[in-house]
Amino acid sequence: MTEWTVDHAAGVLLAAEQERTDRGPITDEWPGLDLATAYQVQRRLIDRKIAAGETIAGVKLGLTSRAKQRRMGIDSPLTAWLTDRMAVRPGEFLDLSTLIHPRVEPEIVFVLGQRLSGPGVTAARAMAAVSEVRAGLEIIDSRFADFRFTLPDVVADNASSARFVVSSEAHRPDGLALDLEACDLEIDGQVADSATGAAVQGHPAEALALAANSLGERGIDLEPGWIVLTGGLTDAVTLKPGMRIVARFTHLGSVVLQVS
């Protein structure tokens, strides 16, 4: 019998990512995996990536919209880590053979100009720390078969993080009504889904505050220069070879991903 530990779980998830194989939920084999331990697994996994030369690019929120919560059957938002190795330039081709079963989702992205230390961060304070707002696409790739997982599983798996694209166009936050900001998700020229920023916790600034507060409880600050992905606005779409995906926003501009 396997002795499940934080270290073992991190190793299992890293191996699945490297070998591009999916597996059953960890909680099937380790029912004792609770949320706090799952965040330790997530941290261990990132520490191993850092030891292997990756650097932290920022953080992401997951399951902040009803569309995502409904689809995944989990109604609590979570946080996870982004590294430099996950960044894909806008318009760059994504090679599907490097991933397991990737899906894409449009997101509103913040770049931080100031440190944010929770708990106690309000949406207004969070927004004041933002230097830029950008359009984004996140490519998620659960290490669990069929994206079937419980909350501790998906937390341990760094919230299915795989790749992300951030628009080169940047906007100052003042004057933007991000709850009203609309986004069409276009697949090969057809609008597949659409939403407004209000889909994410009522306002993306609430999602940023949530990240600052939940990381703050674990003694982690959000650092200047970090990117924050505020969570999928719509349900995610499965990527297929040759697809061209555009997240087209009303004021933030567009961001494109090409699949090879």
Q: Which residues bind ligand OOG (CB under 6 A)?
A: 62-63, 68, 72, 105, 138, 140, 142, 147, 154, 159-160, 231-232
- Please, what is the minimum distance in Å from the beta carbon of residue 1 to ligand OOG? 28
The residue whose Cβ lies closest to ligand OOG is: 62
Helix-strand-coil percent breakdown of the chain, rounded to 5?
Answer: 30, 30, 35
Residue 72 or 112: which CB sits closer to ligand OOG?
72
Distance CA 44, CA 140 (A): 20
- Output phi, psi for 140, to 5 deg: -100, 150
Distance CA 87, CA 99 (A): 14
Residue 46 or 140: which CB sits closer to ligand OOG?
140
- Please, what is the minimum distance in Å from the beta carbon of residue 231 to ligand OOG? 4
Identify which of 38, 202, 185 has the alpha carbon closest to the alpha carbon of residue 104. Answer: 185
| Contact between residue 103 and residue 238 where contact means Cβ atoms under 8 Å apart | yes
Residue 4 or 226: which CB sits closer to Mg ion?
226
Residue 138 or 186: which CB sits closer to ligand OOG?
138
Q: Which does 160 bind (CB under 5 to 8 A by kind): Mg ion, ligand OOG, none?
A: ligand OOG
Q: Which does 72 bind (CB under 5 to 8 A by kind): ligand OOG, Mg ion, none?
A: ligand OOG
232: contact with Mg ion by CB under 5 A:
yes
Residue 60 or 224: which CB sits closer to ligand OOG?
60
Q: Which does 154 bind (CB under 5 to 8 A by kind): Mg ion, ligand OOG, none?
A: ligand OOG
90: contact with Mg ion by CB under 5 A:
no
Q: Which does 206 bind (CB under 5 to 8 A by kind): ligand OOG, Mg ion, none?
A: none
Residue 12 or 109: which CB sits closer to Mg ion?
109
- Interface segment toward Mg ion; rule CB under 5 A; list 42-50, 143-151, 225-233, 244-252: 225-233
User: CB-based contacts of 51: which residues, under 8 Å, 6+ apart?
Assistant: none
Q: Quick one: angle between helices 6-19 and 35-51, nearest 10? A: 60
Cis geometry, peptide bond prior to residue 119 (ω within 30 degrees of 0): yes
Residue whose structure tokens are 């696409």: 137
- Please, what is the minimum distance in Å from the beta carbon of residue 229 to Mg ion? 6
Handedness of CA 193, 196, 201, 205 (dihedral sign): positive
- Please, what is the minimum distance in Å from the beta carbon of residue 3 to Mg ion? 32
138: contact with Mg ion by CB under 5 A:
yes
Element (H, E) at 70: helix 66-72
Residue 242: exposure state from Cβ atoms within 10 A (0-12, 13-18, ≥19): exposed
Binding site for Mg ion (CB under 5 A): 138, 232
